C-alpha cells in the first residue's frame, strides 16, 4: 500500500476496498515509527487527521468523492492550517496556532484530502539543506548522515520514506525541486501566480510559490489540479480558466514515439565547472532516454545564468527584511521574557526568536535597501532579473522544454556547508533562475550517483507549460523506474 500512487489509492477508496481512516491510520503508524530517526514531522495530531478521514469516508459513502478524497497529505509547516500549530521552522512561531487556513489548505480540504501533519523545514524557508530549522535537521532517508535538501526537506523526506503518499512544499529559489532531487522524488514549482500565496508565511513575495511533491509526474498533476486556482486575497494570484494538468499524460494512440517533435533545450552553461561528474553522467543518460522517446536535443545558451545566484541573494533578502518585520513580539509569536522598553522588547524578541541564517538575510536585505545602496545593489539585481527572463524567452523560441541537472551534486553530509553560506547558496545555481523569471519547473529522479544517492533531472517550461512538462516527465517514467526506487530501511 505504501508504494501505491495517488490514482491507485483513490481507486481503492472509491471501490470500498480501503477506508480513509484505515489509510490515514497506517501512515500515522509509519510516522510514529520512522520520525524519531528522520525528524521529518514537526507536528502530528492524530485526532484531527482521523476526524478528517472519517469525514472523507462519509463523502465516499455518499458517492461525492473527488480524486484526492480520503488521501492523507503532509504539509510543509509554512502553510497556515486552522487549529494546527504552524511554526515555519522557527522559535519565533514555535507555539503559534493558526486561526485560518491557507488557500492551498482550503483547496485540498475541499477536495477531501486529509492533513497527515506538518513537516520540518529550514527556518522561514531560508536554507538549502533543512539544517536551519529550530527543531533540528531532517535526515535524508537514503543516508541519514546526509541532508535532504531544503527548504522543503521535511516534505521531500516524508514522501521518499513513504511516511506520506504525497506532500505540499514551497519553492522560492529551488526549495521544492532541489530537495526532490536529493531524495529521489518528484517536485513541481508552478508558474508564479498559479497557486495562491495566501496563508503561506512569506519569505520573498515575488519569488515564493507553493507546489506539489510526490513520487510520480502523474501524482503531481492530480495534486496541482486541486491546488491551482484564482484567489482574490492574493494580489499576485492569476485569474485564468481552470486547467486539467493531467490532460496530456496519455500519448496519442497512433504515436510510435510518444515524445516525437518535442524540442529539448540543453543549456551549455549547466554543464561546465561546478557540476559533479556522477550527476552529469546520470543527466546525460536521461537526455539520451528522452531522445529515444522521440525528443530532439537542441543546444541553447542562457548567458546570464551565472548571475542568477547573486541576483537572487540580493532580491530575496530584501523582500525578507520587509516581510519579517511583522515578527516583533507584539501581536503573536515569541516575545522576550525580559526587556526594558518597547524598543528593547523588539530587539530582544527578534534576536532571541530568529536563527542565524534568518538574521543574516534580514541584515543583507536591510543593507541593500538602505539609502545609498538601493541603486547599487537592489535596482541592479532587478535589472539582471529582467535579463534572465529575456534569456529564457529567447531560448523558448528554439525549444519547448529546457532540461539539465537540478543540483550540482548529490546530497551532501549534514554540517558540511553550514559554516560556508556562499557554498550553500551555490547549491541553488540551476534552480533560482526559474523563480526570478516566474517560470514553471520540476525535478524528477533520473538515476543515482556517488554513494548510491539520487540524482534529479530538472525540466523547465515556458509560462503555463505545466501540462506539457508533466506529460514529458510521465513518458520518461513509463520507460524508466528511477521514481519507483525506495530507500533501504523504509520498507
pLDDT tens figures, 316-367: 999 999 999 999 999 999 999 999 999 999 999 999 999 999 999 999 999 9
User: Is residue 164 predicted with pLDDT exceeding 70?
Assistant: yes
Torsion-angle region of residue 39: left (phi > 0), alpha (psi -120 to 50) or beta?
A: left
What pTM did the predictor assign? 0.97
Locate the domains of the chain by residue range: 6-256
pLDDT tens figures, 263-301: 999 999 999 889 999 999 999 999 999 999 999 999 999
Q: Residue 8 has which C-alpha cell?
A: 491507485
- C-alpha dihedral (73, 462, 248, 178), degrees to nearest 10: -30
pLDDT tens figures, 228-241: 999 999 999 999 99
Residue 251: the pLDDT is 73
User: How many CB atoms are located within 10 Å of the residue 293 CB?
Assistant: 18
Beta strands in 137-289 (DSSP E): 167-171, 186-189, 209-214, 263-267
* Average of per-residue pLDDT values in the chain: 96
Pairing state of beta strands 209-214 and 41-43? unpaired
The catalytic residue positions are 76, 151, 175
Q: CA–CA separation, 127 vs 131, rounded Å?
A: 7
In terms of Cα–Cα distance, which of 151, 148, 165, 164 is closest to 219?
A: 165
The CA-based diameter of the chain, rounded to the nearest angstrom, is 76
Residue whose cell numbers read 512538462? 469
Q: CA–CA separation, 414 vs 424, rounded Å?
A: 12
Residue 258: the pLDDT is 93
What share of the chain in percent tops pLDDT 70?
99
* 6-256 CATH, one of 3.90.1300.10, 2.130.10.10, 1.10.3720.10, 3.10.20.30: 3.90.1300.10
Question: For residue 254, what pLDDT band results from cuts at 50, 70 and 90?
Answer: low
Residue 491: the pLDDT is 78
- Residue pair 159/74 in contact (Cβ under 8 Å)? The answer is yes
Q: Residue 349 has which C-alpha cell?
A: 524578541
Residue 250: the pLDDT is 86
- Residue pair 190/238 in contact (Cβ under 8 Å)? The answer is no
Residue 283: the pLDDT is 98
User: For the purposes of burial, counting CB atoms within 10 Å of the CB of 2, is it exposed (0-12), middle (13-18) or buried (19 or more)?
Assistant: middle
Amino acid at each position: 500500500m505504501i508504494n501505491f500512487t495517488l490514482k491507485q489509492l483513490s481507486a481503492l477508496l472509491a471501490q470500498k476496498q480501503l477506508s480513509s481512516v484505515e489509510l490515514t491510520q497506517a501512515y500515522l503508524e509509519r510516522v510514529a515509527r520512522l520520525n524519531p530517526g528522520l525528524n521529518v514531522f514537526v507536528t502530528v495530531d492524530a485526532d484531527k487527521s482521523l476526524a478528517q478521514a472519517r469525514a472523507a469516508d462519509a463523502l465516499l459513502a455518499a458517492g461525492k468523492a473527488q480524486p484526492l478524497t480520503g488521501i492523507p497529505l503532509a504539509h510543509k509547516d509554512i502553510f497556515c492550517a486552522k487549529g494546527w500549530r504552524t511554526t515555519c521552522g522557527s522559535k519565533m512561531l514555535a507555539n503559534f496556532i493558526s486561526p485560518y487556513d491557507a488557500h492551498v489548505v482550503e483547496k485540498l480540504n475541499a477536495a477531501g484530502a486529509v492533513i497527515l501533519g506538518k513537516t520540518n523545514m529550514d527556518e522561514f524557508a531560508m536554507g538549502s539543506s533543512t539544517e536551519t530549522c529550530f527543531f533540528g535537521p531532517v535526515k535524508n532517508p537514503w543516508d541519514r548522515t546526509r541532508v535532504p535538501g531544503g527548504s522543503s526537506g521535511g516534505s521531500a523526506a516524508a514522501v521518499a520514506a513513504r511516511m506520506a503518499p504525497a506532500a505540499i512544499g514551497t519553492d522560492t529559489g529551488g526549495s521544492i525541486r532541489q530537495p526532490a532531487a536529493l531524495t529521489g522524488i518528484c517536485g513541481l514549482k508552478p508558474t508564479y501566480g498559479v497557486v495562491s500565496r495566501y496563508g503561506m508565511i512569506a519569505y520573498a513575495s515575488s519569488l515564493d510559490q507553493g507546489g506539489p511533491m510526490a513520487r510520480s509526474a502523474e501524482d503531481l498533476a492530480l495534486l496541482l489540479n486541486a491546488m491551482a486556482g484564482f484567489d482574490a486575497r492574493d494580489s499576485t494570484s492569476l485569474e485564468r480558466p481552470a486547467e486539467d494538468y493531467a490532460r496530456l499524460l496519455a500519448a496519442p494512440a497512433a504515436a510510435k514515439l510518444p515524445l516525437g517533435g518535442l524540442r529539448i533545450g540543453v543549456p551549455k552553461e549547466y554543464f561546465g565547472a561546478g557540476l559533479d561528474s556522477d550527476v552529469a553522467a546520470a543527466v546525460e543518460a536521461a537526455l539520451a532516454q528522452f531522445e529515444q522517446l522521440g525528443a530532439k536535443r537542441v543546444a541553447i545558451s542562457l548567458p546570464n545564468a551565472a548571475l542568477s545566484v547573486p541576483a537572487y541573494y540580493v532580491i530575496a533578502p530584501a523582500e525578507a527584511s520587509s516581510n519579517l518585520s511583522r515578527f516583533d513580539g507584539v501581536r503573536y509569536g515569541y516575545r522576550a521574557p525580559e526587556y526594558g522598553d518597547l524598543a528593547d522588547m523588539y530587539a530582544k524578541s527578534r534576536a532571541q526568536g530568529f536563527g542565524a541564517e534568518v538574521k543574516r538575510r534580514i541584515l543583507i536585505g536591510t543593507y541593500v535597501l538602505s539609502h545609498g545602496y538601493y541603486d547599487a545593489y537592489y535596482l541592479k539585481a532587478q535589472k539582471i532579473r529582467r535579463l534572465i527572463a529575456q534569456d529564457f524567452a529567447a531560448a523558448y523560441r528554439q525549444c519547448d522544454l529546457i532540461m539539465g541537472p537540478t543540483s550540482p551534486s548529490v546530497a551532501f553530509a549534514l554540517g558540511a556547508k553550514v559554516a560556508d553560506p556562499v557554498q550553500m547558496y551555490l547549491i541553488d545555481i540551476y534552480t533560482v533562475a526559474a523563480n526570478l523569471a516566474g517560470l514553471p519547473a520540476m525535478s524528477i529522479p533520473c538515476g543515482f550517483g556517488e554513494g548510491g544517492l539520487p540524482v534529479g533531472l530538472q525540466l523547465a517550461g515556458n509560462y503555463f507549460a505545466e501540462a506539457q512538462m508533466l506529460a514529458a516527465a510521465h513518458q520518461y517514467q513509463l520507460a524508466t523506474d528511477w521514481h519507483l526506487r525506495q530507500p533501504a530501511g523504509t520498507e
